[in-house]
Every structure is written in C-alpha cells, then in structure tokens.
C-alpha cells in the first residue's frame, strides 16, 4: 500500500480561551485555530500569519514575542479576541475544509465588555459569524481581509490599510 500525504479530517474542539476584559471595545473573531495555533495554544501561532504584526504596527507597539505579551497588547488596547467556531471537522488548517460547525457563545464577552464593533478576520470567519452568531447578537460585523499567509493577494501594506478601520473604534 502506497503512503499518501493526505491529511485526515478530524473533529476538533477549540481549547483556547477568549481574551477580553471589561475594558474591551472591539471584538475580533477568527474562524478556528490553525494547526500551529493549536500547538502554541494561542491565537495566530503560525510565524507567517501577519495578525500580530498588523496589530502591533497599527497600535504603534512592538511585536509581541510570547503569549503573555500578546494578551497584554490586546487588553491594553481594548481588543477582545476569539474565534467563531467552538468545534468543527477540519483537515489540517484549511478553512475551506471546515464542516459540522458548532459556534462559540460570545455572549459572555458581550455581557462583560462594552463591545462597540465586531470584526471578522477573513471570509470564512465572516460567513460563519453571519450564519451562526449574528442571528443571536444582531450586531453587524465588519469583514477584514485574512491575515493568513494563504491570503497572499494582500501585502502587509494592503492589510494595514484595510485593518486601520479598527482604530476608529478604539
């Protein structure tokens, strides 16, 4: 029998807790943690993902190196962070393979913080937010281009231009 490089489709549970406090003003929602993020046990753990670089640049902060610094960057600047999906079936890190979605309950964030705007990081997060969470929150989300390295069409400069909208709400 020949060996294959086909990744197995797995049902996974999101185990990274949300980052927020009573001072959070905006909520950024991704879709589901990548393989690298699951290994790092924190959001946007792939070294090529531009999320932390985009945020640090927009906020005039240095790029955080570890999880505690990243949490501090978010909380100091009024940013809550989580993902739309609580559990799903996924192959590797491929958003396009996501099926059987169970959404996260973002109500604890909305009850604790005075969130004025929700943002989604990429098309998958936006589509799944609209389908699974918007019916309960009735809060429109602003779709931002994905910071994933798979979104090669967006240079860092283009991401910074698009993501700068968050500054209006902080």
Catalytic residue numbers read 49
Helices (H), 67-154: 67-76, 107-112, 123-128, 134-137
* Torsion angles phi and psi, residue 112, rounded to 5: -90, -45
Interacting residues of 99 by C-beta distance below 8 A, sequence separation 6+: 9, 88, 89, 90
DSSP label at 48? T
- Residue 45's closest CA among 35, 53, 55? 35
């Amino acid at each position: 029998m020949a060996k294959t490089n086909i990744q197995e489709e797995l049902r996974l549970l999101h185990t990274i807790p949300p980052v927020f406090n009573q001072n959070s003003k905006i909520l950024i929602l991704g879709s589901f943690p990548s393989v690298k993020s699951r290994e790092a046990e924190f959001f946007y753990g792939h070294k090529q993902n531009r999320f932390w670089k985009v945020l640090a640049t927009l906020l005039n902060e240095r790029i955080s190196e570890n999880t505690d610094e990243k949490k501090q960057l978010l909380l100091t600047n009024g940013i809550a962070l989580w993902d739309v999906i609580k559990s799903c079936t996924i192959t590797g890190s491929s958003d396009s393979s996501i099926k059987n979605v169970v959404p996260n309950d973002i109500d604890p964030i909305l009850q604790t913080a005075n969130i004025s705007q929700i943002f989604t990081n990429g098309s998958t997060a936006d589509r799944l937010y609209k389908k699974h969470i918007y019916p309960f929150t009735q809060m429109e989300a602003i779709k931002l281009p994905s910071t994933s390295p798979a979104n090669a069409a967006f240079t860092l400069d283009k991401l910074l231009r698009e993501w700068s909208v968050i500054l209006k709400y902080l």
